[in-house]
Chains A and B, each alone.
Chain A
Amino acid sequence: MTPAEPRAPGGAAAVQPGGSARVGNPGPPLWLLCELTYTCPLHCVFCYNPVDFARSEQELSTEEWLRVLREGRQLGAVQLGLSGGEPLTRDDLEIIVAEAHKLGYYINLITSGIGLTEARIQALKAAGLDHIQLSFQDSTREVNDFLSSTRTFELKSKVAALIKKYDYPMVLNVVLHRLNIDHVQQILEMAQSMHAEYVELANTQYYGWAWHNREQLLPSQEQLRRAEEVTQRFRERAGQKMKVFFVVPDYFERRPKPCMNGLGSVFLTVTPDGTALPCHAARMLPGLSFPNVKNSSVEWIWRDSEGFNHFRGDSWMKEPCRSCPEKTKDFGGCRCQAYLMTGDAANADPVCDKSPHHHLVTEMVARANQPRPAPSEAPRAEKPLVFRDRKNSISLLR
Chain B
Amino acid sequence: MTAGPTAPTIGSEARPTLGRGFRLQWEPAQSAHVLLYPEGMVKLNASAGEILKRCDGAKTVAEIVSDLEAAFATQGLEKDVRSFMGIALERRWLEIPE
Contacts and interface: CB of A to CB of B under 8 A. Distances in A.
Nearest to B27: A78
A308 B52 CA distance: 35
A30 interface: yes
Nearest to A169: B21
Contacts of B39: 79, 81, 108, 131, 133
A78 B38 contact: no
Nearest to B29: A76
Interface string A82-98: 00000000000000000
B36 A106 contact: yes
B38 A76 contact: no
B14 interface: no
Interface string B2-43: 000000000000000000110101011110001011111100
Nearest to B20: A169
Contact of A171 (B23, B34, B38): B38
Interface in A65-116: 75-76, 78-79, 81, 104, 106, 108
A199 B21 CA distance: 16
A273 interface: no
Contacts of A76: 27-30
A142 interface: no
Contacts of A168: 21
Interface in A128-142: 130-131, 133
Given A168-B21, A169-B21, A28 B38 contact: no
For this complex, into which size category does the number of interface residues on chain B fall? 10 to 19
A167 interface: yes
A115 B29 CA distance: 36
B20 A131 contact: no
Contacts of A79: 36, 39-41
Given A79-B39, A106-B36, A171-B38, A130 B29 contact: no
B20 A78 contact: no
B27 A131 contact: no
Nearest to B21: A169
A130 B27 contact: no
A78 B41 contact: yes
Contact of A30 (B23, B37, B41): B41
Contact of A28 (B25, B29, B40): B29
Nearest to B35: A106
B36 to A, nearest CB: 4
Interface in A194-238: 198
A130 B41 contact: no
A104 B30 contact: no
Contacts of A133: 38-39
Contact of B25 (A104, A131, A171, A198): A104
Nearest to A132: B38
Contacts of A106: 23, 36-37, 41
Given A78-B25, A79-B41, A104-B25, 9 more contacts: A28-B29, A30-B41, A75-B29, A76-B29, A78-B41, A79-B39, A106-B23, A106-B41, A108-B39
Interface of B: 20-21, 23, 25, 27-30, 34, 36-41
Which 4 A-B pairs have CB atoms at the shortest separation, nearest pair first?
A76-B29, A106-B36, A131-B38, A28-B29
